Amino acid sequence: MGEPVRLPCQAGSFYAASERPLRKQIEECFMHDFASRALPTVREQGPRRVIALVSPHAGYMYSGPVAAKGYAYVADDGRPDAIVLVGPNHTGYGTGVSIMLRGVWRTPLGDLRIDSELATDIQRHSKFVDVDAGAHLYEHSIEVQLPFVQYVYGAVHFVPICMRMQDVEVSRDVGAAIARASAGKNVLIIASTDLSHYEPQSIVEKKDRLALDAISRLDEEALQAVVEAHGISMCGYGPVSAAIVASKTLGAEKGVLLQHKTSGDITGDRGRVVGYASAVMVK
């Protein structure tokens, strides 16, 4: 039997369905006023100070420019040997925390191979991470990041982790497992999340600011607390919490907000918006 191939489920929906239009769409995101207004080039001798990137995962027409801002930043930071991509589980399928240990993920830009050794080490160091491909079949939070990853880095190996359980205990376990497996290696962690959902712009801005302040302070407990206390509908607070834990263990000293916008900033309709941010956790 051949290795498993995870086929795209959002091509033609969240992003363009074929290579040329998708490359054009990504380039338009990078050239947007909310992004870097320049196409990225990987700085091969970059300092590799970024341990984790927080990136949004909505349709590219809404969150793509904000995502591009983060990907331009990490491109300038250097080239990782592998990426650990952690996203929330929107579908409800699969186990509480699900990883795949082998195979490839396909997008219109080609195939990305799972780093089996790194994935196996993460799963081995965690008491919550289960091997389960089913959770990933229809989930968009990881898939939507991959064309940006491919555009910037090409065929880099990666590890997909999907979190349905997102409380602080599970997030700390996942983050610690990622850190132990990544220690001494050139790994970039990407936490996929959108922020507040479907509230007026003024409310989204206030709520998002609370979450982003906790991220900037690398405080996973504070992030979880403000999400609960203020009813912040941030879908990936667990993946971000796990990234904070892993980043601190691997030497991060601060979080840096790169861009924060809403769907209303794109469409002009600020009555019911979704918040998006790019941020990095750096040494």
Provide the total of helices (H) and of strands (E) in the chain, helices listed first: 9, 12
How many degrees, rounded to 5, is the angle at CA 237 between CA 128 and CA 88? Answer: 60
Q: Enter the pTM of the model.
A: 0.98
| Domain range summary for the chain, segments of one domain joined by + | 5-282
Binning pLDDT at 50, 70 and 90, where does residue 184 land? very high
Compute the average pLDDT of residues 6-15. Answer: 97
Residue 151 one-letter amino acid: Y
How many degrees, rounded to 5, is the angle at CA 71 between CA 174 and CA 179? Answer: 20
Which tens digit of pLDDT belongs to each residue from 110-142?
999 999 999 999 999 999 999 999 999 999 999
As a three-state string, the secondary structure of 137-183 is CCCCCCHHHHHHHHHHHCCCEEEEEEECCCCHHHHHHHHHHHHHHHC
Q: Per-residue pLDDT for 2 more than 80?
A: no
Compute the average pLDDT of residues 94-120. Answer: 98
Binning pLDDT at 50, 70 and 90, where does residue 36 land? confident
Burial of 191 (0-12, 13-18, 19+ CB in 10 A): buried
The pLDDT assigned to 144 comes to: 98
The pLDDT assigned to 268 comes to: 95
Find the helix packing angle between 201-216 and 237-249, rounded to 10°: 20
From 196, 192, 222, 234, select the one nearest 70 (Cα to Cα).
192
Phi-psi category of 12—alpha, beta or left, where left has phi over 0 and alpha has psi -120 to 50? Answer: left
Compute the average pLDDT of residues 160-181. Answer: 98
From 76, 84, 83, 86, select the one nearest 48 (Cα to Cα).
76
**Collapsing DSSP states into helix, strand and coil, what is residue 92?**
coil
The pLDDT assigned to 56 comes to: 98
Q: Per-residue pLDDT for 1 more than 70?
A: no
Fold entry, domain 5-282: Protocatechuate 4,5-dioxygenase; Chain B (3.40.830)
Compute the average pLDDT of residues 241-259. Answer: 98
**Collapsing DSSP states into helix, strand and coil, what is residue 38?**
coil
